[in-house]
Structure 1
């Protein structure tokens, strides 16, 4: 869900904070991508694509084309996967799980299925595996004392899979899809990060540390998590124009600190707690600008007119935004490698039954585009040749016998007489006198 109506508030109160940016303008930039939102988009925005084994490969196909488009444009994506959601989020997830019971047999429910998986009974292992387990894939579950406190880059999944103590349990459908996505990204040479909790929070930490330029997600809660730049509407189209939100400009135009902005997001409605009834976006912003915090607002509003939800744990929600659980960025090493086309074809075409000609064709198109851009950049960076001067083509030579440059001779007497005769035949204006050169 993100933050209710936050985008509308920004468009109305701080339109300068949102700019339209062409995808090509991010060339050379590192973008932290919220993988769970991308998966949700592919489930809902793309038609269901089923292979001969009955598997829905819409997510893999969408992720393949989008990632290749980013690489083709010189953009370096890093995909961040969700971990265990905060306990304060469980009531909301339970409601979503109940609402998705009608379509519980289909992964097309997208985010509802993802959250339903995460609300399953906890298993004493790494947070990644606290999911509903219904797939043929298996993973070893370590004892509770061996839980990982922080997720590592790419290696978290491998560490979990390599555990051989405890009970062997199958992975959930959602987890199986995430593992397939990770394998696809490895074939493309793109790094992945496993977040201990909310992926947007770890994306924001990467941006804050300078390791990434922006966060790419549709959820506006990347902003209260502290991402200084948020990119929305990222697609696989080369002509894609995205919306970029600037957090510093938002805070400046709304005249709020980061802490006050987090309070505004809580008042608007977030994933962690309910909202105060009767407080619309404009009124919530005005009250916050006047009373500085939720604590001050609660002292000045009528409990009858604006009833506060029972057990409204806004202070805990505030800390989840200001002090979220994120991956240790000091341990993160982002490295991109050249795509391994043969492994990619083996996985997508031979195993997942995507058409090989399409996979190889798209990879070849990407290589050609990258080569063309590199040549263009090399030509621009090459030093320009100096234009030759005219004297370099027609140099002045000295006569060897005289030792000096050639000079024209002066006019002698015979030449003067000949010139006078020629000019005497020409009509002369009245009062003019005939002059001979040299006289």
Structure 2
């Protein structure tokens, strides 16, 4: 879901080349959901293999990774660990929304209303444990690094960006700003939309607030840990409040305020990760995509060859840079 202050955040359109030569942290769960929403059949249903298992995410990972490498971008995926207890309400609300969407999708299907089917199919998105684990398996086979966060993936990705190990966090949400990520890039996984660069320093300067104020704004509006926020407060009102002398009066109305703020200020993170690409397992990729998930051999084979050449080129360049001290 993410915090809802889209209209207040200054953004800058950038070309894909802006990220060339850079390593980026991908908010894994967020981007997998994007693949589930966008890679679909005409009726809105996701791609599936002959066993009925969803394969949209594997399609997205495989082809988008190659697209990034073609543009000299090194992706590092970051996956969620155990969520904070305060997220339970949000998870339950999402479950109810999916159940409602399933009911509406069934009705639309009976009426043969394609537009409605597409709309509700997207709201039925759910990442099962198998989808996530198989996504990691595919990344392993492709030689692409990923990190298992102790808790929230966005917190881990933001930590890596603050350390300078990655240039930015790739996500459609703005929550990484709350964790202190210096930069977010949106729309990298989209097909036609321009990339959007959001810089934390620019956001704070434009709004005339501190990072603490930004977190307080989000809490007043509503986060994954207090989804309803404070009644009657939207983004503009929240901005006014955090700039006023009465901020504390409003924040007192937020249950678990200190605990929520601490999640953003001191996320659980790990330093045990690698951001290096490895040699892909050609046979393993083909077995996973073609034999196990019914992808087209004719289409997959040349892309596997391309992947291997791109990673070989990348790893050679890294070795040369290290050798010459660049």
Q: TM-score under structure 1 normalisation?
A: 0.62
In 2: Cα distance, 1:43 partner to 1:294 partner: 39
24 and 232 in structure 1: CA distance in 2 versus 1, 3 angstrom threshold: same
* Alignment match of 1:269 (pick from 188, 198, 222): 222
In 2: Cα distance, 1:240 partner to 1:22 partner: 11
64 and 356 in structure 1: CA distance in 2 versus 1, 3 angstrom threshold: same
State the Cα distance separating 1:355 from its structure 2 match.
Answer: 0.9
Please state if 1:46 is matched with 2:44: no
Please state if 1:32 is matched with 2:45: no
- Indicate the residue corresponding to 2:109 in structure 1: none
RMSD (Å) for aligned C-alpha atoms: 2.8
SS in 2 for 1:80: strand
Please state if 1:345 is matched with 2:286: yes
8 Å CA contact 1:231–1:244 kept in 2: the answer is yes
Moved more, 45-54 or 174-183: 45-54
State the Cα distance separating 1:242 from its structure 2 match.
Answer: 0.8
Number of aligned residue pairs: give it.
Answer: 294
State the Cα distance separating 1:92 from its structure 2 match.
Answer: 2.0
- Which digits, 9 at most, give the CA deviation of each residue in 1:135-177, with x for residues without a partner? xxxxxxxxxxxxxxxxxxxxxxxxxxxxxxxxxxxxxxx1111
In 1: Cα distance, 2:141 partner to 2:126 partner: 27
- Indicate the residue corresponding to 2:56 in structure 1: 58
* Alignment match of 1:315 (pick from 235, 250, 258): 258
8 Å CA contact 1:49–1:58 kept in 2: the answer is yes
- Indicate the residue corresponding to 1:230 in structure 2: 184
Q: TM-score under structure 2 normalisation?
A: 0.82
State the Cα distance separating 1:315 from its structure 2 match.
Answer: 1.7
Larger RCO, structure (CA 8 Å, separation 6 or more): 2
In 1: Cα distance, 2:309 partner to 2:194 partner: 23
8 Å CA contact 1:43–1:109 kept in 2: the answer is yes
Please, which runs of 5 or more residues in structure 2 have no aligned partner? 41-45, 106-120, 316-326
8 Å CA contact 2:278–2:311 kept in 1: the answer is no
8 Å CA contact 2:16–2:195 kept in 1: the answer is yes
- Indicate the residue corresponding to 2:13 in structure 1: 20
SS in 1 for 2:178: coil
In 2: Cα distance, 1:318 partner to 1:218 partner: 21
8 Å CA contact 2:36–2:125 kept in 1: the answer is no
In 2: Cα distance, 1:208 partner to 1:373 partner: 24
- Indicate the residue corresponding to 2:322 in structure 1: none
In 1: Cα distance, 2:25 partner to 2:71 partner: 16
Work out which of the two has the higher radius of gyration on C-alpha atoms and give 1 or 2: 1
- Indicate the residue corresponding to 2:113 in structure 1: none
- Indicate the residue corresponding to 1:9 in structure 2: 8
Please state if 1:357 is matched with 2:298: yes
- Which structure is higher in helix share? 2
* Alignment match of 1:335 (pick from 276, 294, 297): 276
SS in 1 for 2:36: helix
State the Cα distance separating 1:296 from its structure 2 match.
Answer: 4.9
8 Å CA contact 1:267–1:276 kept in 2: the answer is yes
8 Å CA contact 1:40–1:110 kept in 2: the answer is no
8 Å CA contact 2:168–2:181 kept in 1: the answer is yes
8 Å CA contact 2:22–2:74 kept in 1: the answer is yes
SS in 2 for 1:100: helix
State the Cα distance separating 1:69 from its structure 2 match.
Answer: 0.7
In 2: Cα distance, 1:93 partner to 1:44 partner: 18
- Indicate the residue corresponding to 2:115 in structure 1: none
- Indicate the residue corresponding to 1:200 in structure 2: 154
203 and 278 in structure 1: CA distance in 2 versus 1, 3 angstrom threshold: same
